Amino acid sequence: MAGLVSVAYKGVDAAIAKLERQQKQVKFALAVALTRSAGIAKDAVRAEMPKDLDRPTNFTLNSMYAVPARKNNLVAYVRIKDDGDRGAPAAKWLTPQIEGVARKNKGSEKRLRSKGYLPNSKYLAPGKGVKLDRYGNITRRTMTAIIQGLESGSKYFLVGDPENPVGIAQRLSRKNIKMVLAFVSRPNYKKRLDFYGVGYKAADQSVAAEFEKAYAKALATAR
């Protein structure tokens, strides 16, 4: 046909194939970068915990995990464990510190309520006479001994009006009595751990550099 200039590129198929390979490497590098950034965010929040929380235990410090991104799902997450090994899951007690909500019932409180010892409107707090661990908590062994002792009517007893008790005391001798548990109003936790602020900041600051490293390695090792 007159007046027609046909422009073709003989290597078009190879170029398209190359671009498709590069696109696959981009997705792979993004998944790697997002996963690494989630790990960095998790470590940043872990480093923040001792600053915002009162003597966090190792169980609390290790209560988070990173969910990796995939090439077909380019999102990575930092989550708090919601399953408990031998006790309440970390999400149960960390959520109030993050969201700032009223504390939920503990297992010991549910048990004392079911027995009629703890009024429905009251919650447990350590008394001055109870021994705490190095993290400022009542150990499970101590709590079990208190509840079992109260149920058996041995050394532990309710203090105050039977209809409105104020706590549980331990009788060491006739003249030596100490308060081990106080019945208090429902605790309301303020936001203490900046989980989202610290996590997002760490991820945002790291993801670009992590992508560059991952993409460069992906191109260098691509077949």
- Whether the predicted pLDDT of 150 surpasses 60: yes
Signed CA dihedral, 50, 56, 58, 60: sign only: negative
Cα(29)–Cα(38) distance, integer angstroms: 14
Cα(184)–Cα(141) distance, integer angstroms: 22
Cα angle at 215 between 213 and 216, to 5 degrees?
A: 65
Q: What is the pLDDT of residue 66?
A: 94
* Residues whose CB falls within 8 Å of the CB of residue 106, separated by 6 or more in sequence, listed in order: 88, 124
pLDDT tens for 64-78 read 999 999 988 989 999
Average pLDDT over residues 107-136: 89
More confident: 24 or 131:
131
Cβ–Cβ under 8 Å, residues 158 and 223? no
pLDDT tens for 84-117 read 555 678 888 788 888 887 777 888 999 999 988 9
pLDDT tens for 32-46 read 999 999 999 999 999
Q: What is the pLDDT of residue 3?
A: 60
Cα(146)–Cα(149) distance, integer angstroms: 5
Q: What is the pLDDT of residue 19?
A: 55
Average pLDDT over residues 197-202: 94
* Per-residue confidence band for 13, with pLDDT thresholds at 50, 70 and 90: low
Q: What is the dihedral of CA 86, 92, 97, 102, to 10 degrees?
A: -130
Q: What angle, rounded to 10 degrees, do the helices at 140-152 and 107-114 form?
A: 0
- Whether the predicted pLDDT of 11 surpasses 80: no
pLDDT tens for 158-182 read 998 888 899 999 988 878 889 999 9
DSSP 73: B
Residues in the chain: 223
* Amino acid at position 87, single letter: G
Average pLDDT over residues 187-206: 89
- Whether the predicted pLDDT of 6 surpasses 60: no
Average pLDDT over residues 197-206: 93
Q: What is the pLDDT of residue 82?
A: 82
Q: What is the pLDDT of residue 198?
A: 95
Q: What is the pLDDT of residue 21?
A: 65
**Neighbour tally for 124: CB within 10 Å:** 21
Q: What is the pLDDT of residue 190?
A: 80
